[in-house]
Structure 1
Amino acid sequence: MTTEVRSLREFKMPDVGEGLTEAEILSWYVKPGDTVTDGQVVCEVETAKAAVELPIPFNGVVERLFFPEGATVDVGTVIISVAVAGEAGAAPATATAPAVEAPADEAEPERREVLVGYGPRTGVTQRRARRTTTTKTVAAPKPAPAAPAAPVAPAPAAPAPVAEAPVGERPLAKPPVRKLAKDLGVDLRAVTPTGPAGVITREDVHAHAAALAAPAVEPVEAAAAPTAAVVEAPVPVPGAGDVRVPIKGVRRATAQAMVASAFTAPHVTEFVQVDVTRTMKFVRRLKESGELGRDVRVSPLLLVAKALLTAIKRHPEINAQWDEAAQEIVIKGQVNLGIAAATPRGLIVPNIKDAGSRTLSGLAVALGELVETARQGKTSPADMQGGTVTITNVGVFGVDTGTPILNPGEAAILAFGAVRELPWVHKGKVVPRQVTTLALSFDHRLVDGELGSKVLADVAALLEHPKRLITWG
């Protein structure tokens, strides 16, 4: 009789982005006893930059899940073990771990290997408290450090707890929709799906949350101000007490970056009001004619982006970076144009690589793809790295202007305010015109007032007379 031989393979939390040291497990797609194959996605994690799905690199049967959903895990820490057949022809081993997630109460005593250049981490990985969203309760208290992998217990007597179905019996929904449901306190098993093949959509979750009188998170606009990111926590209800919002993931990274930027780079902001009547007519003409493509989304933001890129071509010194170690100003060879976008996970700033070399049509396509990817919560870490200059569209919120904070490592950021019909002197007469306010913040270490003023004045002139986009470009 052939004796079955098996061995355990462990899969560790990889470094899914440059320099990241931890990630939060959002969803498990497998449970102990499930058979997995090389390349199969087993979980979704959220880093400080994006949500990422992790594939397993070998075949076998899931033996154990070391952490529950909601746990924050250091890079290099084992998150799942798989029983792998040890000899040819042997059947995969039957998992002996319980079907319910039961992470160990103690940290692994042996030295743990880590990935991508990180040394071994000492101490215990602490699991952050999971959030149960209701209209009256606050976040669950933080668990004791000595129990990093304890099972998550739902808050008792909560009006709208996040009650997840057992793995393998979950309703069909994409990871961003599951995350949205968690944030709104919606049980996906109670939601009526309207998507194809019975898939639950974002709209289904919002509709169910509204029916329960729970606060909802609206879809992200094309771009948002750094200080106006969509809040993923519940909206406070008058008289219901305090609401605590855990600072983690994208929100924590944004806060740290903004503080570092504000207290490192000396900010200067300049403002200008612009008559954009001709630009708005140009946008309407492009929409009606379809000359940029039938499926291409055309908006005023597109022409603002093109105007800024044209101004940078005339004044490349503003597309620069301060190198503190070398005490040098690095003028970048290409413009990676960032667009600040509010998402349910917080503010992100993905960028269009080498945007300065794109035609108006190519820029429109890239901008549309960037916005759609951000709305779906699928922006990759690579898309948020290497930005050189940013636009934040505060106008979508009806805001006239602001003093935007620089994205770390960049020399300038342009705020595009709301377009309003205002009395304006045009050809010697006071007439109603479409007017907006632009604000340009820049790092005064490498951009002086003259350079900043020239760039802002060029953007204003191009938006006032959009035909110059062709002659100046």
Structure 2
Amino acid sequence: MAETVIREFRLPDLGEGLTESEIVAWRVSPGDTVSLNQVIAEVETAKAVVELPSPYSGRVARLLAEPGTIVAVGTPIVAFEVAAEAARLTAGGSQGAAKPKREPNLVGYGAAIEDTGRPARKTRAWAASRPAPGEPGGTEQAHAPEPEAALEPEGAPEPRAAERPRSTPPVRKLAKDLGIDLESLTGTGTHGLITRDDVLAAAGTPDVGAEAAQEAAGVVRPSPGERETRTPIKGVRKLTAAAMVASAFTAPHASEFLTVDVTASMELLARLRENRAYSGLKVTPLTLVAKAVLVALRRNPSLNSHWDEAAQEIVQYHYVNLGIAAATPRGLVVPNVKDAQDLTLPELAEAIAGLAQNARDGRPTPEELSGGTISITNIGVFGIDAGTPILNPGEAAIVAMGQVRRLPWEFHGEVALREVMTLSLSFDHRLVDGEQASRFLADLGAILADPGLVITMV
């Protein structure tokens, strides 16, 4: 029998410098045989649920952390029994010049594939992109592969045994609660994603499914006679709370409001929805507001900046990573559209819809949740007219769009029923003066009141 040794795998830093993560669920059990980069666990950081790949090929010896446990980065979470010869090769090689030790590192995760003499390729882009060695901010440690797939040699067979139906942790939990086998379902979501509706349809019991879905989302139901419920502060809620406190007590907030007749924008929206070029796209008032924000920023760039306290510098961004606030069962998240300034309206609509779907499914990537430069929050979907949103940390401004209401309004010297929206703007008064904020908000309102004005602004 081949000699084996025990190798422990420590919880890695999954990106963004996070110090701890929660073990959501194990996808393996002691005694299971696993292959390199097979998904072994679902781990929830303060930003997203990610899948953790195995750093070894071998057998699972012990699970060192129970589901629901919050584990500090660097803590052993699983032990593998691996072939001693493979372990020696990993540690340094048995012949010739010693090779550098190649074990899982704590910046990113996953193991590097042994050198085969062939160029490597990525099967999927790692969600939290990192600088390569030698680039600014890079390290000499291995580039972190994405949780679902690592760098594989060109021509290597796809790891079919490690694959599973594509779904999200809440959906998998719902399916488990309802006794639905995901292998038997065909996903109707983007790229074949199995959605909550797919599971409920297979169960044929929507009322029970709704309750299970709430449980999967972490909704706590009180027991009969229970007078209070205590829930640990963790995950997204914990991160959001800390970020909002830091923002509120660091950046001097100021707010302005503008109520606008957006009838012309709503008429444009109706025409776009009938346009064949927009067939299949979800074009909403948020889409138009997002595009208007991008145009207004060209004339008022100070709202797309950052106060670097440590360096005592103002960082002016020449790109826009547009954050879209989303309320999810896990709490508030603000994923952002990268380089939104370069997108056409259809591309922007598609990008926003994708972010929203990822947020609802509980699978926004760390990359989507970091690096924002300015944000929009749509409080109108809740029937609210205006508010004073708190800045997303590190950003100079946030726009809140209220509901579109049909109100009596002055129009061409007469009173008429018009579509009206209130825009709210909160800004960091260290970076943005009242005049600059007012000009930005006025430009934003002018675009939404008469979209044709865009050609005079770009």
Normalising by the smaller structure, the TM-score range is: 0.7 to 0.9
Which amino acid is the alignment partner of residue 414 of structure 1? V
In structure 2, what is the equivalent of residue 188 of structure 1?
A: 177
1:18-49 Cα distance to aligned partner (Å, 9 max, x none): 21011001111110111100110001100011
Aligned residue among 28, 46, 49 for 2:47: 49
Structure 1 CA distance for aligned equivalents of residues 209 and 301 of structure 2: 53
For residue 211 of structure 1, give the secondary structure of its aligned residue in structure 2: helix
Aligned residue among 74, 77, 90 for 2:75: 77
1:55-74 Cα distance to aligned partner (Å, 9 max, x none): 11221011111111111111
Which amino acid is the alignment partner of residue 264 of structure 2? R
Trace 1:199-218 onto structure 2 (pairs within 5 A).
201-203=195-197, 204=199, 210-211=207-208, 214=211, 217=214
Distance of aligned partners of 1:464 and 1:232 in 2 relative to their CA distance in 1, 3 Å threshold: farther
Aligned residue among 293, 300, 322 for 1:315: 300
Distance of aligned partners of 1:361 and 1:17 in 2 relative to their CA distance in 1, 3 Å threshold: same
Superposed displacement of residue 237, structure 1:
8.2
**Does 1:115 find its partner at 2:113?**
no
Distance of aligned partners of 1:439 and 1:42 in 2 relative to their CA distance in 1, 3 Å threshold: same
Aligned residue among 238, 241, 244 for 1:258: 244
In structure 2, what is the equivalent of residue 409 of structure 1?
A: 394
Which structure 2 segments of 5+ residues have no match? Answer: 87-103, 109-163, 188-192
Distance of aligned partners of 1:411 and 1:386 in 2 relative to their CA distance in 1, 3 Å threshold: same
For residue 384 of structure 1, give the secondary structure of its aligned residue in structure 2: coil
Superposed displacement of residue 5, structure 1:
0.6
Query: Is the 8 Å Cα contact of residues 311 and 459 (structure 1) preserved in structure 2?
Result: yes
In structure 2, what is the equivalent of residue 355 of structure 1?
A: 340
Query: Is the 8 Å Cα contact of residues 321 and 410 (structure 1) preserved in structure 2?
Result: yes
Q: Which moved more, 1:202-211 or 1:310-319?
A: 202-211
Query: Is the 8 Å Cα contact of residues 296 and 440 (structure 2) preserved in structure 1?
Result: yes
Structure 1 CA distance for aligned equivalents of residues 209 and 419 of structure 2: 41
Superposed displacement of residue 468, structure 1:
1.8
Structure 1 CA distance for aligned equivalents of residues 307 and 205 of structure 2: 49
Distance of aligned partners of 1:174 and 1:362 in 2 relative to their CA distance in 1, 3 Å threshold: closer
Query: Is the 8 Å Cα contact of residues 210 and 216 (structure 1) preserved in structure 2?
Result: no
Structure 2 CA distance for aligned equivalents of residues 257 and 427 of structure 1: 46
Structure 1 CA distance for aligned equivalents of residues 259 and 335 of structure 2: 27
Distance of aligned partners of 1:324 and 1:60 in 2 relative to their CA distance in 1, 3 Å threshold: same
Query: Is the 8 Å Cα contact of residues 232 and 346 (structure 1) preserved in structure 2?
Result: no
Which amino acid is the alignment partner of residue 115 of structure 1? L
Trace 1:237-252 onto structure 2 (pairs within 5 A).
240-252=226-238
For residue 240 of structure 2, give the secondary structure of its aligned residue in structure 1: helix
Structure 2 CA distance for aligned equivalents of residues 176 and 87 of structure 1: 36
In structure 2, what is the equivalent of residue 337 of structure 1?
A: 322
Aligned residue among 254, 265, 270 for 2:256: 270
Structure 2 CA distance for aligned equivalents of residues 253 and 195 of structure 1: 35
1:77-103 Cα distance to aligned partner (Å, 9 max, x none): 111111112248xxxxxxxxxxxxxxx
In structure 1, what is the equivalent of residue 125 of structure 2?
A: none
Trace 1:27-66 onto structure 2 (pairs within 5 A).
27-66=25-64
**Does 1:174 find its partner at 2:167?**
yes
RMSD: 3.0
Query: Is the 8 Å Cα contact of residues 258 and 423 (structure 2) preserved in structure 1?
Result: yes
In structure 1, what is the equivalent of residue 120 of structure 2?
A: none
Which amino acid is the alignment partner of residue 334 of structure 1? Y
Which amino acid is the alignment partner of residue 196 of structure 1? T
For residue 40 of structure 2, give the secondary structure of its aligned residue in structure 1: strand
Query: Is the 8 Å Cα contact of residues 338 and 387 (structure 1) preserved in structure 2?
Result: yes
For residue 174 of structure 1, give the secondary structure of its aligned residue in structure 2: coil
1:379-404 Cα distance to aligned partner (Å, 9 max, x none): 11111111110000001111111110
Superposed displacement of residue 211, structure 1:
3.4
Which amino acid is the alignment partner of residue 36 of structure 2? D
For residue 381 of structure 1, give the secondary structure of its aligned residue in structure 2: coil
Which amino acid is the alignment partner of residue 59 of structure 2? V
Superposed displacement of residue 374, structure 1:
1.6
In structure 2, what is the equivalent of residue 23 of structure 1?
A: 21
For residue 459 of structure 1, give the secondary structure of its aligned residue in structure 2: helix
Structure 1 CA distance for aligned equivalents of residues 363 and 16 of structure 2: 17
Distance of aligned partners of 1:200 and 1:378 in 2 relative to their CA distance in 1, 3 Å threshold: closer
Query: Is the 8 Å Cα contact of residues 191 and 208 (structure 1) preserved in structure 2?
Result: no
Trace 1:294-443 onto structure 2 (pairs within 5 A).
294-443=279-428
For residue 251 of structure 1, give the secondary structure of its aligned residue in structure 2: helix
TM-score by length of 2: 0.76
Structure 2 CA distance for aligned equivalents of residues 238 and 267 of structure 1: 43
Which amino acid is the alignment partner of residue 268 of structure 1? A
Structure 1 CA distance for aligned equivalents of residues 272 and 224 of structure 2: 46
Which amino acid is the alignment partner of residue 207 of structure 2? A
For residue 301 of structure 1, give the secondary structure of its aligned residue in structure 2: helix
**Does 1:284 find its partner at 2:266?**
no
Q: How many correspondences in the alignment? A: 379
Structure 1 CA distance for aligned equivalents of residues 401 and 173 of structure 2: 29
Query: Is the 8 Å Cα contact of residues 49 and 249 (structure 1) preserved in structure 2?
Result: yes
In structure 2, what is the equivalent of residue 159 of structure 1?
A: none
In structure 2, what is the equivalent of residue 101 of structure 1?
A: none
> Counting helix residues as a fraction of each chain, which structure ranks higher?
2
Which amino acid is the alignment partner of residue 330 of structure 1? V
Structure 2 CA distance for aligned equivalents of residues 335 and 269 of structure 1: 21
For residue 396 of structure 1, give the secondary structure of its aligned residue in structure 2: helix
Distance of aligned partners of 1:87 and 1:386 in 2 relative to their CA distance in 1, 3 Å threshold: closer
Structure 2 CA distance for aligned equivalents of residues 192 and 12 of structure 1: 32
Structure 2 CA distance for aligned equivalents of residues 218 and 6 of structure 1: 42
- Name the % identity: 53
For residue 372 of structure 2, give the secondary structure of its aligned residue in structure 1: coil
Query: Is the 8 Å Cα contact of residues 306 and 469 (structure 1) preserved in structure 2?
Result: no
Query: Is the 8 Å Cα contact of residues 171 and 195 (structure 2) preserved in structure 1?
Result: no
In structure 2, what is the equivalent of residue 227 of structure 1?
A: none
Query: Is the 8 Å Cα contact of residues 36 and 55 (structure 2) preserved in structure 1?
Result: yes
Q: Which moved more, 1:171-180 or 1:413-422?
A: 171-180
In structure 1, what is the equivalent of residue 84 of structure 2?
A: 86
Distance of aligned partners of 1:238 and 1:418 in 2 relative to their CA distance in 1, 3 Å threshold: farther
Superposed displacement of residue 324, structure 1:
1.2
Query: Is the 8 Å Cα contact of residues 76 and 114 (structure 1) preserved in structure 2?
Result: no
**Does 1:469 find its partner at 2:458?**
no
Superposed displacement of residue 232, structure 1:
3.9
Which amino acid is the alignment partner of residue 106 of structure 2? L
Query: Is the 8 Å Cα contact of residues 5 and 81 (structure 2) preserved in structure 1?
Result: yes
